[in-house]
């Protein structure tokens, strides 16, 4: 039933990912693959935990930023022609610390937000 529903593009769009306890994706041959979602069997490794903590810290930082800053970063991404959201761009900068990328995009967009988002943990 779910396979047939997913194959018909649920609600008019191709639904993929974890949906109602099932994982849905399309194979290389164009067939819909559906199987019950299974939790990871092993506890996370220390490296996985550190990576998750880094993304969690970024999300907390972003949520604490004023709306005006978030809007400015979104606008900056649009003006620079990036096909990425402001959130994802800031997350990349947080994780990579790529100050050259930040300055290049600021110059291209002619936008200069007060604080670059690469103050996250290494």
Nearest CA to 75 out of 105, 117, 116, 118 is that of 105
Q: What is the pLDDT of residue 12?
A: 54
User: Mean of the pLDDT values across residues 108-118?
Assistant: 76
Q: What is the pLDDT of residue 94?
A: 86
Q: What is the pLDDT of residue 121?
A: 47
24-69 pLDDT, tens digit per residue, is 888 878 788 888 888 777 888 899 898 889 889 899 989 998 898 8
Which are the contacts of 19, defined by CB distance < 8 A and separation ≥ 6?
A: 6, 10
Distance CA(51)–CA(73), nearest Å, equals 24
Distance CA(80)–CA(104), nearest Å, equals 9
Does residue 34 contact residue 23 with C-beta atoms inside 8 Å?
yes
Give 113's pLDDT tier (boundaries 50, 70, 90). confident
Residue 10 has pLDDT above 60, yes or no: no
57-107 pLDDT, tens digit per residue, is 899 989 998 898 899 899 999 999 988 899 999 898 888 888 888 888 888
Query: What secondary structure does DSSP assign to 65-112, as a single string?
Result: S-HHHHHHHHHHHHHTT-SS-HHHHHHHHHHH--HHHHHHHHHHHT--
């Amino acid at each position: 039933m779910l396979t047939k529903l997913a194959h018909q593009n649920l609600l008019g769009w191709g639904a993929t990912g974890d949906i109602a306890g099932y994982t849905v994706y399309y194979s290389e041959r164009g067939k819909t693959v559906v199987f019950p979602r299974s939790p990871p069997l092993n506890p996370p490794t220390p490296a996985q935990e550190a990576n998750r903590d880094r993304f969690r810290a970024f999300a907390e930082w972003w949520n604490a930023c004023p709306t005006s800053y978030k809007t400015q970063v979104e606008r900056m991404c649009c003006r620079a022609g990036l096909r990425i959201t402001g959130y994802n761009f800031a997350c990349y900068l947080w994780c990579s610390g790529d100050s050259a990328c930040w300055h290049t995009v600021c110059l291209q967009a002619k936008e200069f937000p007060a604080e670059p988002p690469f103050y996250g943990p290494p």
